[in-house]
Amino acid sequence: MSISVRRLSYGIGAEVLGVDLRRPLPGEDIATIRRAWVDNGILLLRDQNITPEQHIAFSARFGKLDDHSALFKYRHPQHPEIFIVSTKPNADGSPSDTRETGVNWHSDLSYTLRPAMGSLLYCREIPDVGGDTQFANMFLAYQTLSEGMKKMIEPLQAVHDYAWAIHDTEKGRDSAKAEAHKKVNPPVKQPMVRVHPETGRKALYVSEGITTHIAGMNHDESRAILSYLFEHSVRPENTYRHHWRPQDLILWDNRSVMHKALRDRVPGTHRHMHRTTVLGEPSGELYKA
């Protein structure tokens, strides 16, 4: 069966049909998928009845995989390449630490000097209602800015700090946890406009969940500009919202896409996902306040 690609929405995304990931794909199919992935930002592959090994093998066709050492507690016990995002309680009954993972807009690993190229999220369990993920096209976000705004932000860098994202809806800000994370992941400066290494296209590269401020500006100036950019980049026409089905696999390109796990879970229902992360090109520098 040959591969075909159909768009998912105006703003972003496509579905790939004619692929069965239980068998290794020929190199030309991988090249077709990579092209469609870069062009559409996210790709949806439905009905993939795959094991963790097959998920890892497919992901590794796109580059070196992260072993998730920055967030080592949440790795799959047998497969460090798999990061588990789950709302299911731990074996001792305590709440899962990843039940709120990714609930604010972000691009994976933007808070490191080697941000992720791509992420491949596989749905193992999902309730009938809720557990959705939203995606935003950051090429489109950049393109639809005025020429004046583009010119102003293009030479600037913004600070990305994982500790900023440590927040729990019930407990509020967890500063002890944030400090511990800061030791492993100190804040970095990233370009506000990132040039996509495979296409040369420009994408806006700031996110509400991880970007704290613009380097070299005072707090009020920085907040005003960033608030505008955050709101602008997630306008509905720029986004796609996915309601998962079990065995869906979604690939997103972190160099041109932001995403957010919605807080739309019906109490008492659960969601269980496996994510692999393909490492990208080095970007940014350490931030010294």
Residues marked active site are found at 106, 108, 259, 275
Cα–Cα distance between 97 and 221 in angstroms, integer?
A: 34
Among 9, 59, 86, 101, binds ligand SIN (CB under 6 A): 101
CB 129 within 8 A of CB 266: yes
Count of residues of this chain found to bind ligand SIN when the rule CB under 6 A is applied = 11
**What is the closest distance, in whole angstroms, from the C-beta atom of residue 157 to ligand SIN in the complex?**
23
Residue 226 burial (CB count, 10 A): 21
Residue 41 lies near ligand SIN (rule: CB under 6 A)? no
The DSSP-derived string for 29-97 is: HHHHHHHHHHHHSEEEE------HHHHHHHHGGGSPBP--GGGGGGB-SS-TT-EEEE-SPPTTSPPPT
* Choice between 189 and 275, CB closer to ligand SIN: 275
Q: Which of residues 260-289 bind ligand SIN (CB under 6 A)?
A: 261, 273, 275
Kindly tell me the sign of the dihedral angle through the C-alpha atoms of 203, 209, 211, 213. Answer: positive
Among 43, 50, 56, 85, binds ligand SIN (CB under 6 A): 85
Residue 198 burial (CB count, 10 A): 15
Tokens encoding 173: 């800000």
Among 13, 41, 102, 115, binds ligand SIN (CB under 6 A): 102
**With CB under 6 A as the contact rule, which of the stretches 40-48, 101-109, 187-195, 224-232 interacts with ligand SIN?**
101-109
Q: Which of residues 221-260 bind ligand SIN (CB under 6 A)?
A: 259
* Choice between 108 and 145, CB closer to ligand SIN: 108
* Choice between 33 and 121, CB closer to ligand SIN: 121
Beta strands, E only, the chain: 4-7, 14-17, 42-45, 83-86, 116-125, 133-137, 157-160, 167-168, 172-173, 188-191, 193-195, 202-204, 211-214, 239-242, 249-253, 257-261, 272-279, 285-286
**What is the closest distance, in whole angstroms, from the C-beta atom of residue 68 to ligand SIN in the complex?**
11
Closest CA to 212 of 288, 161, 253, 138: 161
Helix (H, G, I), strand (E, B) or coil at 119: strand
Q: Which of residues 121-150 bind ligand SIN (CB under 6 A)?
A: 121, 133
* Choice between 43 and 273, CB closer to ligand SIN: 273
**What is the closest distance, in whole angstroms, from the C-beta atom of residue 123 to ligand SIN in the complex?**
9
**What is the closest distance, in whole angstroms, from the C-beta atom of residue 206 to ligand SIN in the complex?**
16
What does the binding site for ligand SIN look like in residue numbers (CB under 6 A)? 85, 101-102, 108, 119, 121, 133, 259, 261, 273, 275
